[in-house]
Amino acid sequence: MKILIFDTSEMATSRAAQQIIDRVAAHPDCVLGLATGGTMPPVYRHLTNAHLAGSVDFASVTTFNLDEYVGLTPDHPCSYHHFMAQELFDATDFDRSQTHIPMGNAPDPEAEAKRYDAKIQAAGAIDLQLLGIGTNGHIGFNEPTSSFGSRTRIKTLTKATRSANQRYFSDGEEPPRYAITVGIQTILESRDIVLLATGESKAPAVATMIEGALSASCPATALQLHPATTIILDQDAASQLKLREYYFQVHPNGQETPIV
Ligand code: GLP
């Protein structure tokens, strides 16, 4: 794991976005894995601004989002289809026939999950997967107890996750109980992974992910098995890391200076 700690969430966010921009600039037809959640809109603003400034084009990129709520139609304001259109796709030049998100309202969600995983594999796996992390250590919607061998499937959301996401739903409406999520094995097959976490609320999950023992209780610990994962943090999210000074010594201020 490469662990980069930045002074501010803005610097961390910018570094995560830059990794995506660099990847697309080098490989315009790459396959990106995209994420949702409150951490991501600032990342997508960087991508949008870079596109509007003429620095990057997304027209040949293929994308696969991590997850979608079971039961929500794509036009539901809390669906991840809607989130992605609003936060990224509508303001950029992504070819919408190449942007994929599980269909939460599919008549057979289990079959939809299998179809989706097969589609990722047919695309040759993800080149660069962007991840956030839940306060309980989930990645995508892989809640605690998710197998490290899991593929795209239905997961029951925990009370903690539903509560955390309640803020996106209007009064009286509760977040769905189930989601389709790309599995941990599918995520681990990505060539590169970049996980962005900001804010103090993520500090315990971040510490367990990086320094805890491998465990399905904290699904993000699976990333310890991946050979090319970059964890990008602000100081608050890094605040419970025991070896924080060591990570800072290796990459001062998040910088990746060549070893001479
Ligand atoms: C959501 C998403 C995850 C996201 C996480 C954290 O429920 N399914 O992909 O990483 O929870 O979200 P936030 O960035 O809002 O803290």
Q: Is 162 exposed, middle or buried (0-12, 13-18, 19+ CB in 10 A)?
A: middle
> For 146-161, what is each residue's pLDDT tens digit?
999 999 999 999 999 9
Q: Answer yes or no: is the C-beta of 83 below 6 A from any ligand 1 atom.
A: no
pLDDT tens track for 107-147? 999 999 999 999 999 999 999 999 999 999 999 999 999 99
Centre of ligand 1 from the C-alpha of residue 91, in Å = 22
Instruction: Tell me the per-residue pLDDT of 59-96, one tens digit each, with 9 for 90 and over.
Output: 999 999 999 999 999 999 999 999 999 999 999 999 99
Confidence at residue 218, expressed as pLDDT on a 0 to 100 scale? 98
DSSP letter at 181 equals: E
Q: Is the Cβ atom of 198 under 6 angstroms away from ligand 1?
A: no
- Contact between residue 161 and residue 153 where contact means Cβ atoms under 8 Å apart: no
218 in contact with ligand 1, CB cutoff 6 A:
no
pLDDT in tens, 192-244: 999 999 999 999 999 999 999 999 999 999 999 999 999 999 999 999 999 99
Give the model's pLDDT for residue 54.
Answer: 95
pLDDT at 103 over 90: yes
Whether 181 is in the pocket of ligand 1, judged by its Cβ within 6 Å, is: no
User: What tokens were used for 56?
Assistant: 């990057």
Report pLDDT for 68: 98
Protein residue with least CA distance to atom 1, ligand 1: 37
For the entire predicted model, the pTM comes to: 0.97
Ligand 1 closest atom vs CA 66? 9
Catalytic residue ranges: 67, 136, 138, 143
Give, for ligand 1, the residue of 69, 87, 135, 138 to mutate: max count of ligand atoms closer than 8 Å to Cβ.
138
Tell me which DSSP letter residue 107 carries.
S
Per-residue confidence (pLDDT) for residue 112, from 0 to 100:
98
Ligand 1 center to 257 CA (angstroms) = 31
pLDDT of residue 113: 98
Taking only Cα atoms into account, the Rg of the chain, rounded to an integer number of angstroms, comes to 17
